[in-house]
Structure 1
Amino acid sequence: MFVIGSGAKHLEDEMRQLGAEIIEVELRKFPDGEKYVRVMGSGSEATVVSSTFYPQDERILELLLIGDALRERGFEKLRAVVPYFAYSRQDRVVKEGEPVSVRAVMRALGLYYDELYVVDIHNPRTLSYFPGKAINVSPARAIAEYFGEKLGEGLVLAPDKGALGRAKAVAELLGVEYSHFEKRRISPTEVEMRPVEVDVRGKNVLIVDDIISTGGTMIKASSILRKLGAGRIFVGVTHGVFAEGAIERVSKAVDELAVTNTIPTPVSRISIVPEIVGLQSARE
């Protein structure tokens, strides 16, 4: 059985269409702004689904309150599915006195939840901070299915070496080449980007990554690919954390921009709902 938090209300209709059994939960605020949660069903196991996009802190607290409410109702095993996990990029101390924020959030969730499932977390190694079972769910199938026919015999690129695994996963499903962009500093103020060991001339290209915010890297990559003679250029990203105006800027630079629906945006055209519902089926 699933419980849908406020960060996954945009996924609820599709989840129902795919046969998900959903426990109703009342979510509202008191006049002073404090959150109110009431679980309307009962059982022994439940999977709580909610992304933690803006307002991040409120949605994280809501996950904790739902977990407490379910435990109070007698649920013995709880799973949290957090398609977009806020604070995932704050995964190390840069300046003395800082927290490892993703660790703090995972440890807090571990007070209530036995298992944690995250879609394409920024740094998979951070899942070790969760005290129970933690799984990184790949969106590769969904991205490959969406872009497959459009890409044709093209290739898949990662914007940097760190994202190469994502490009590889999508490319192998499509049976095409993959590589990444290499960045080389040529002056104190200028960085050169270039695809590594692949010829893009006349080929369609799909650039994949986990998060897109300002879109600056994608715009630069697209400009380089155009100069190298690439065909159509697509951008497929898991989490659309868009800064103001980023969707318009990137959309003008490429032939198509599409992200998954871990966060609701105007370009959330790729659904990860089958992966979420499939988690339940895999356990049955």
Structure 2
Amino acid sequence: MIHLFFCPQMTEMALRIHTAHPDRITLGRIDWSYFRDGFPNLRIENAPGLRNRDVAFLSTLTTPGEMFAQLAVLFELPRYAVRSFKLILPYFPTGTMERVEEEGQIATAATLARLLSDIPLTMSGPTQIVIYDIHALQERFYFSDSVIPRLETAVHLLKDQVRAEPDLSIAFPDEGAWKRFGRLFPEFPQIVCLKARRGDRRGVLIKEGDPVDRHVLIVDDLIMSGGTLIECKNLLLEKGAARVSAFATHGVFPNSCWCHLENEDFQTVWITDSCPEQAEAVHSRPPFQVISLAPDIARIVLEPL
């Protein structure tokens, strides 16, 4: 039996995972109370019963305020002599700040990786940290050898949605997205876009591929404001695409930026529920469709050591 703990924001996903596997996964409980000064007052229920058990924690760190309470839990759970520990962190929130280009900048992706690398060892060895479609693959090396970062992708879940789509081509909004995802779509024609100067301003150009009369699906790891996505969509339609859809594993949408995509003539915008609050906000609003990571996370949680 796997003991699955979860932060409050991941309650719905944890319940779906448990409902699908009630005989193999039990839900652990944590009292997420807070003192009057705002600092957490936490308690793991039946903590002594975790000795020599397999434990997982379903986490989201999409706002800095969530991090302290969850880090406190992550540092404590393995100390109860658990047999194994998996941290499921679908979205690595500082991933877009992964490199320094001038003195004084801080690569906060490395900072968060160092914090997570301090999770204590379990009875069977290091914690596995499971992350979906991290922004830059080299971020794996920001983690120390005290933990095992495990990089997963949601692309196969997208393919289940579009397998029957006729005349489908896959587009990438920049070369970075093509390098991350291009090899995962060998069965589809591909279009690679890039940002370059168009006259006196910078804009999106098609580097290779032909969108004419195709249903073009733009693929990237995350959507923030959606500005680049809209630029790419407009260019593809201008160049003859029959229709344009989009997919990003992480719909981050700070300050409800998802509204920028609502009336932009996308056929469909797929995201996953890696950022649960944002996914809940858009799940019934066209053109959005939310693909749940719950079945895939259940598979990972249930994998034997």
TM-score between both structures, scaled by the size of structure 1? 0.90
Asked whether the 8 Å contact 2:86–2:301 carries over to 1, the reply is: no
**Separation in structure 2 between the aligned mates of residue 167 and residue 101 of structure 1, nearest angstrom:** 24
Q: SS state of the match for residue 21, structure 1?
A: strand
Asked whether the 8 Å contact 2:129–2:149 carries over to 1, the reply is: yes
Identity %: 20
Which of 172, 175, 193 is the aligned partner of 1:158?
Answer: 172
Question: What does the per-residue CA deviation read over 1:192-227, in whole Å, with 9 as the maximum and x for residues that have no partner?
Answer: 423333221111010011111111111111111111
Q: Residues 263, 21 of structure 1: CA spacing in aligned structure 2 closer, same or farther, 3 A cutoff?
A: same
Q: SS state of the match for residue 200, structure 1?
A: coil
Residue in structure 2 matched with residue 10 of structure 1 by the alignment: 12
Bigger shift: 132-141 or 93-102?
Answer: 93-102
Say how many residue pairs are matched.
278
Residue in structure 2 matched with residue 110 of structure 1 by the alignment: 117
Asked whether the 8 Å contact 1:157–1:167 carries over to 2, the reply is: no
Asked whether the 8 Å contact 2:75–2:118 carries over to 1, the reply is: no
Asked whether the 8 Å contact 1:154–1:203 carries over to 2, the reply is: yes
Which of 89, 93, 101 is the aligned partner of 1:82?
Answer: 89
Q: Residues 168, 224 of structure 1: CA spacing in aligned structure 2 closer, same or farther, 3 A cutoff?
A: same
**Separation in structure 1 between the aligned mates of residue 180 and residue 162 of structure 2, nearest angstrom:** 14
Q: SS state of the match for residue 103, structure 1?
A: helix
Asked whether the 8 Å contact 1:49–1:81 carries over to 2, the reply is: yes
Say yes or no: does 1:60 pair with 2:67. Answer: yes
Residue in structure 1 matched with residue 157 of structure 2 by the alignment: 142
Say yes or no: does 1:29 pair with 2:50. Answer: no
TM-score between both structures, scaled by the size of structure 2? 0.84
Bigger shift: 254-263 or 107-116?
Answer: 107-116
**Separation in structure 2 between the aligned mates of residue 108 and residue 245 of structure 1, nearest angstrom:** 29
Asked whether the 8 Å contact 2:134–2:151 carries over to 1, the reply is: yes
Q: RMSD of the alignment, in Å?
A: 2.0
Say yes or no: does 1:38 pair with 2:62. Answer: no
**Separation in structure 2 between the aligned mates of residue 167 and residue 66 of structure 1, nearest angstrom:** 34
Residue in structure 1 matched with residue 259 of structure 2 by the alignment: 248
Gaps of 5+ in 1: none
Which of 236, 253, 273 is the aligned partner of 2:294?
Answer: 273
**Separation in structure 1 between the aligned mates of residue 255 and residue 296 of structure 2, nearest angstrom:** 29
Question: What does the per-residue CA deviation read over 1:25-59, in whole Å, with 9 as the maximum and x for residues that have no partner?
Answer: 22121111111222224323311111211xx2232
Bigger shift: 122-131 or 268-277?
Answer: 268-277
Q: Residues 166, 270 of structure 1: CA spacing in aligned structure 2 closer, same or farther, 3 A cutoff?
A: farther
Q: SS state of the match for residue 252, structure 1?
A: coil
Question: What does the per-residue CA deviation read over 1:118-144, in whole Å, with 9 as the maximum and x for residues that have no partner?
Answer: 111111211111122111111111111
Residue in structure 1 matched with residue 123 of structure 2 by the alignment: none
Gaps of 5+ in 2: 121-126, 284-288
